[in-house]
Chains A and B, each alone.
Chain A
């Protein structure tokens, strides 16, 4: 699994027990750390945080994705991490983002809220590729809007 491009999608539950302000600060910190660490590993991706859940796409060389995911796995700020996909892919979906963030715009919230309601917050009812597509659509929509921590 040397240089081949991989994509990993996971979904987890928020374990940050803080009021709204503190929560936003934590998510900002997560994004800052991701944007700091990811370029060296060749990792790009997108993070969605909303309604107490995280969903994230990581893409890059297998080794970089594996190391990044292992670091994420050890993070106590989330729990019930569910790995939805880890596959070889031909190209990146977030080539220009060290870590795009979805959840800033009202529209994104509405869209995601709808999906969350539709799936009843049951991650097993969303597939990895569905989450990937969802994130990509939302990132494209939000591309021109200011992102938290950007």
Chain B
């Protein structure tokens, strides 16, 4: 500090404290809080501009020495509700309060003793802060996109309602919403969700609660004595209404909704169980084709438990090597030889014995376990094929889930490499539905597999929607004609025509055509006449365990070889 400033500070008596008092006074005057200082008898010592403004006193009015309670009473009479509140709290002595004023303002009030005998009253306008707090509160309880109550808020409402009387809980899940987001983009998806929310709100009664639980999940809560009767009609209406076409930003969009319903107190007396039951019913509605609603039934829980148990067992089966492959022969009609086998998955369950694939493959697909199971199938089938003559191939089915796995091509390459099987002996069978889901991606994977040297067969041909166009999308090595056409050869001229046409088409394109499900000699002759190149079915051989299948390849002991030689 310089000598000069020291000199100044120690200047004439009183100068420094005067200055300090003036600074303090200016600070007090400029505070946004209203300040009122009173003596021990509640007479005004001073007040600042904010205080005057809050209680409506003009700057010119001299207040010093006025008895504050009387002053405030006058202002209250003069139309200042805040003055009344301040007066009331002042009489109670030291303390704090929040005063709500009729005009919507929120004022924080505090009074306490200072400097011994004096009182200080502080008024603070907290309207803006409390509004943003209310806003934050609302934000925490509402979905910002649709402005509906969010999950947290809804669960609170549900808990409260369940204790008060009959309640119907509807859990809603939009059908086909994801493709909208994927193909048209999130802004359109968001706009669509807003319209869905509006439709839901417009369909319920006043007082019912509609909430967005997240993503494309919504919920509706009905309360009152008549809920059981009203729910059926509302659910029907919601399925109809949400399923109606939307136009969003010029795009025509069609989605649907699945609804699961649980009633309290009938189905459950507590909110958690009620929610669980509504979810079970929703799960059932989705499983039964979507675009529909289901009420909870006690059996649903048991069905889901059984499903969960099976999922656990499937996982264990994978670890415990409880799967096995059976092999079904394919016969080349030109030579009469068995030229390949299709590998078919079986599950040897510790209690139920051999479980047919139809009972566990859908679950394996749904849970994604099929990817790991599929890897095992590929390795095992390739390894088994190595025991067969070089000109006998092995066909393995690929599922949609496997196609979605980015590792598929690597898995196939690894199976070939570790077993040493020549790629051309491996035939991968895919279904038409796969190509219809996401053409570009799946065709790319097919090409990569083709590049490995493996052959690609179209399975169950004719059961999809656009058979010819799928044939066009990829150079298949083989078409497998679905068993339903073979079954109808005799009875249904249309089946016969399809088989004939596909065989001719295969002939023109240079693609092998395999007829599946061949059971009678008559069918076999018919298929030969129609120009099919291969057959598969019980007539040629049932699916057999590896040790029995390999015996079919022994020309001396093979009944099939002996039989076909007769022709």
Residues in chain A within 8 A of chain B (CB atoms): 1, 8, 62, 65-66, 69-70, 73-74, 76, 79, 81, 83, 86
Is A73 within 8 A of B250, CB to CB? no
B195, CB-defined interface residue at 8 Å: yes
Asked if residues B202 and A74 are in contact (CB atoms below 8 Å), the reply is yes
Instruction: Give the distance in Å from the alpha carbon of A86 to the alpha carbon of B246 in the complex.
Output: 11
Contact indicator A74/B252 (Cβ below 8 Å): no
- Cα A73 to Cα B237 in complex, Å, equals 12
- Contact status B240-A79, CB under 8 Å: yes
What's the minimum C-beta distance from B339 to chain A, rounded to whole angstroms?
47
Contact A74 B199 (CB under 8 A): yes
Q: With A1-B250, A86-B252 in contact, is A74–B245 under 8 Å at CB? A: no
Most chain A CB within 10 A, of B199, B202, B247, B249, is at B247
Q: Which 4 A-B pairs have the closest CB atoms?
A: A1-B250, A83-B245, A66-B247, A73-B244
Q: Which residues of A contact B249 (CB under 8 A)?
A: 1
B241 / chain A contacts, CB cutoff of 8 Å: 73-74
Contact B244 A62, beta carbon cutoff 8 Å: no
User: Which residues of B are found within 8 Å of A73, using beta-carbon distances?
Assistant: 199, 241, 244-246
Chain B contributes a number of interface residues (CB within 8 A of A) equal to 15
| Contact call B247/A86, Cβ cutoff below 8 A | yes
Q: How far is the CB of B210 from chain A (nearest CB, A)?
A: 14
Beyond the given pairs A65-B247, A83-B247, 4 more chain A to chain B contacts, judged by CB atoms under 8 angstroms and listed by A's residue number, are A1-B250, A73-B199, A83-B245, A86-B252
How many angstroms from the CA of A1 to the CA of B240 in the assembled complex? 28
| B320 CB, nearest partner CB in chain A, Å | 53
B residues 158-188 in Cβ contact with A at 8 Å: none
Q: Which residues of B contact A66 (CB under 8 A)?
A: 247-248, 250
Chain B residues near A70: list those with CB within 8 A: 195, 246-247
- 22 A–B pairs (Cβ distance < 8 Å), ordered by A: A1-B249, A1-B250, A62-B250, A66-B247, A66-B248, A66-B250, A69-B247, A70-B195, A70-B246, A73-B199, A73-B241, A73-B245, A74-B202, A74-B203, A74-B241, A76-B237, A81-B245, A83-B245, A83-B247, A86-B247, A86-B250, A86-B252
Cβ–Cβ < 8 Å partners of A86 in chain B: 247, 250, 252
Q: Are A83 and B252 in contact (CB under 8 A)?
A: yes
CB-CB contacts of B232-256 with A at 8 A, as 1s and 0s? 0000010011001111111010000
Closest chain A residue, CB of each to CB of B202: A74
- The closest CB in chain B to the CB of A81 belongs to B244
Determine which residue in B203, B244, B249 has the highest number of CB atoms from chain A within 10 A of its CB, and name it: B244
Residue of A nearest to B199 (CB): A74
- Residue numbers in B under 8 Å from A8 (CB-CB): 247
CB distance from B358 to the nearest CB of A (A): 35
Task: Give CA–CA (A69, B203) in the complex, Å.
Answer: 16
Question: With the chains together, A8 CA to B245 CA distance in Å?
Answer: 12
Residues in B neighbouring A81, C-beta threshold 8 A: 244-245
The docked-state distance in angstroms from the alpha carbon of A58 to that of B245 is: 15
Residue of B nearest to A4 (CB): B250
Q: In the complex, which residues of chain A have a beta carbon less than 8 angstroms from the beta carbon of B244?
A: 73, 81
Residue in chain B with minimal CB distance to A85: B252
Q: Chain B residues near A83 (CB, 8 Å)? A: 245, 247, 252
Q: Which residue of B lies closest to A73 (CB)?
A: B244
Q: Nearest-CB distance from A56 to chain B (Å)? A: 14
Cα A73 to Cα B244 in complex, Å, equals: 7
A79, B244: Cα distance in complex, Å: 9
Question: Which residues of A sit under 8 angstroms from B240, Cβ to Cβ?
Answer: 79
Q: Which B residues touch A74, using CB under 8 A?
A: 199, 202-203, 241
Point out the residues of chain A lying under 8 angstroms from B252, CB to CB: 83, 86
> How far is A119 from B248 in the complex, measured between Cα atoms in Å?
31
A8 to B250, CA, bound (A): 11
Chain B residues positioned under 8 Å from A79 (CB to CB): 240
Bound-state CA distance A74–B269 (Å) is 34
A119 to B241, alpha carbons, bound, how many Å? 26
Quick one: closest B residue to A76, CB to CB? B237
For A69, what are the chain B residues with a Cβ–Cβ distance below 8 Å? 247
For B237, list chain A residues within 8 Å (CB). 76
The residues of A that contact B246 with a CB separation of less than 8 Å are 70, 73
Question: Which chain A residues lie closer than 8 Å to B202 at the CB level?
Answer: 74
Closest partner residue, chain B, to A12 (CB atom)? B244
Within the complex, what minimum Cβ distance (angstroms) separates B184 from chain A? 13
Cα of A82 to Cα of B246 in the assembled complex, Å? 11
CA distance A1 to B249 in the complex (A): 7
Distance between Cα atoms of A65 and B250 in the complex (Å): 10
Q: Which residues of B contact A65 (CB under 8 A)?
A: 247
Nearest-neighbour CB distance to chain A for B230, whole angstroms, equals 14
The smallest beta-carbon distance between A128 and chain B, in angstroms, is: 12
State which residues 247-278 of B face A: CB under 8 Å: 247-250, 252
Nearest B residue to A66, CB-CB? B247
Q: Which B residue's beta carbon lies closest to that of A80?
A: B240
Within 8 A of A (CB), among B183-234: 195, 199, 202-203
Q: How far is the CA of A80 from the CA of B361 in the complex (A)?
A: 36
**Which residue on chain A has the smallest CB distance to residue B248?**
A66
CA distance A82 to B535 in the complex (A): 46
A65 to B249 alpha-carbon distance, docked (Å): 11
Report the bound CA distance from A10 to B252 in whole Å: 13
Complex formed: what's the CA distance from A1 to B237 in Å? 31
Closest beta carbon of chain A to B440's beta carbon, Å: 27
Chain A residues contacting B250 (CB-CB under 8 Å) are 1, 62, 66, 86
CB-based nearest A residue for B241: A74
Contact with A along B371-403 (1 / 0, CB 8 A): 000000000000000000000000000000000
**Bound Cα distance from A81 to B254, whole angstroms:** 12
Please give me the residue from chain B that is nearest to A70 by CB atom: B195
Give Cα A142 to B203, complex, Å.
Answer: 36
